[in-house]
Amino acid sequence: MSTTVPPSGLAAPAPAESAETGTGPAATRTTSWGADPYANALRTGRGPLFLRRSDGWLLPLDVERWCSDAGSADLSALHRCEGPVLDIGCGPGRLVAELASLGHRALGIDVSETAVARTRGLGGAALLRSVFDPLPGEGRWGTLLLLDGNIGIGGDPAALLDRAADLLAVGGLLIAETAPVDVDERVRVRLDDGRGGPEASAAPAAREAAGEPFPWARIGTPALLRHAGAGGWRTADQWGAEGRTFVSLRRPVRERSARTSSQSAESAKSTPEISSQLPK
């Protein structure tokens, strides 16, 4: 994700989906990334695509890179993965596909149907699911990926770290890409293909296609390490590649939340057909 302009985000409930579609209860499903501009960009493999704040500030999204093969910066993260890998916000699936070719058990999750379809089209395993929904293998993943700005999902990095701790096995690794500047901000944004113009003057149809504004966060390494330290995470590594910056963190040792335990049980009951994707 380019950082020449500001942040990005998302979150809003969506309808429950059936087990047949490989999805589950969606109490906290975010729908905004299911909006037309993102789906269209993934279908063509091209931008322009932005996250737009109501004041017009734009964060360009690197659709072309997401729709290409994994590059050397991606590989610098993937080579650090341990055990079964959950790619949170997998987009069109280049990382899931590359992980599979490296011999990892890997599952992508995403709230965009088009992203999940593209990931499956590359031969990767993917579920239409929010990270805040019940997920297979809670508490057993070896590595979680939050790349391409996905630490911004939900607009609250501390809450996302908390959720990540519930998903990881004891000693598990979270690999997150950070903004390559010292920033810690939360904003509300919409997806924008650049045709809408400034929010106030955008045609109603363009505003509707972009969906509701949703929360997003942008966070640099120093701020992420502060949040992580406060939550008991241990820094495993920090590095940069091709102008992108990454951090890996070890899961804090703590009791799982009651919410997650009951969600896991519910997930196990309601989605038996995806049990083959549970990490071993």
Please compute, for residue 139, the number of CA atoms within 13 A of its CA located in the half-sphere on the CB side: 15
Contact 122, 70 (CB under 8 A): no
Amino acid at 191: L
Rounded CA gap, 9 and 50, in Å? 11
165 binds ligand SAM (CB under 6 A): no
Interaction of residue 30 with ligand SAM, rule CB under 6 A? yes
* 137 closest CA partner among 25, 13, 263: 263
Binding mask 119-138 for ligand SAM (x = CB under 6 A): -----------xxx------
Residue window 56-95: x/- pattern of binding to ligand SAM, with contact defined by CB under 6 A: ----------x---------------------xxxxx-xx
Please choose, from the candidates 255, 280, 19, the residue with its C-alpha nearest in 3D space to the C-alpha of residue 134.
Answer: 19
Interface with ligand SAM, residue 149, by CB under 6 A: yes
Query: Which H or E element spans position 72?
Result: helix 72-78
Question: Of the ranges 78-86, 142-150, 234-242, 252-260, which one interacts with ligand SAM (CB under 6 A)?
Answer: 142-150
C-beta of 144: minimal distance to ligand SAM in Å?
11
Amino acid at 23: T
Which neighbouring-strand residues pair with 219?
184
Cβ closest to ligand SAM, residue 31 vs residue 221: 31
Closest distance to ligand SAM from the beta carbon of 95 (Å): 6
Nearer residue to ligand SAM within complex by CB, 33 or 233: 33
Q: How far apart are CA 201 and CA 58, in angstroms?
A: 16
Closest approach of ligand SAM to the CB of residue 129, in Å: 7
- Interface contacts to ligand SAM, rule CB under 6 A: 1, 10, 30, 33, 66, 88-92, 94-95, 109-112, 115, 130-132, 147-150, 153-154
